[in-house]
Amino acid sequence: MAESPDTVVGEQGELLADDRVALPIVSSERVFEGRVWNIRREGFELAGEEIVREFMNHTGAVGVLAIDEHDRVLLIKQYRHPIRMRDWEIPAGLLDVEGESPLVGAQRELAEEADLVASEWAVLADFAPSPGGSDEVIRVYLARGLRAAPEVFAREAEEAELEVRWVPLDDCVDAVLARRIHNGPLSIAVLAAHAARARGWRGLGEAEAPWPSRTAPVRGATGS
């Protein structure tokens, strides 16, 4: 009999997990202030050596894989200038509202981008998309029990021309594996959902589960 995913251990007899490490910070300064996020330069001590790295100081983000009773996933398409593509995505957004919980942020994004609300929420995945160059972490929720939102939101900028499509989960997985879609949160979300469904949706996180990998972005004036 196969082991439960929660009981599989590595060669050292420990569950496979990342380690949080608090290294001595020698210096930290904001070297670029952007409209959405900043760039910081920090020096830290590692193995007796001072190392300096620059990284994007990010607010963090949430995404929502909304799936209906027919195992169809709600996808949106919008233009993304850095990659010069209109790519397929899941509803997602920054955690840039002070004091707002990640769950409330996800519910807000689902309503604003897809005009939907959900009665069932669970954590599907937590991940760091670029840990070598950004402190961004993203939490993806699974949303079920969907219905129309009581309010339709006005959309602007890239969101003004959103295309919405309901796609079977299996078709989404096929598109990821065939490399026809490229969005990171979408790819992780549909692959995680496909695996979770095969396990009877066991292993999902509680909607308000702690998020220890998320740290508040470092703020302050240049040189602070």
Cα gap 106→122, rounded to integer Å: 11
Q: Which of 14, 29, 159, 161 is catalytic?
A: 159
The helix-helix angle for 184-198 and 169-177 (nearest 10°) equals 120
Per-residue tokens: 212: 């220890």
Q: Rg of the chain over CA atoms, in angstroms?
A: 19
Share of the chain residues as helix, strand and coil, in percent rounded to the nearest 5: 20, 40, 40
Instruction: Look at phi and psi of residue 149 and say left if phi exceeds 0, alpha if psi is from -120 to 50, else beta.
Output: beta
- C-alpha 57/C-alpha 34 separation (Å) is 10
Burial string for 26-60 (b: 16+ CB within 10 Å, else e) reads eeebbeeeeeebbbbebebeeeeeeeeeebbbbbb
- Is 100 known to be catalytic? no
Maximum C-alpha span of the chain: 58
What SS3 state is found at 3? coil
Q: Which two tokens stand for residue 160?
A: 């003004």
Mind telling me the catalytic residues? 159
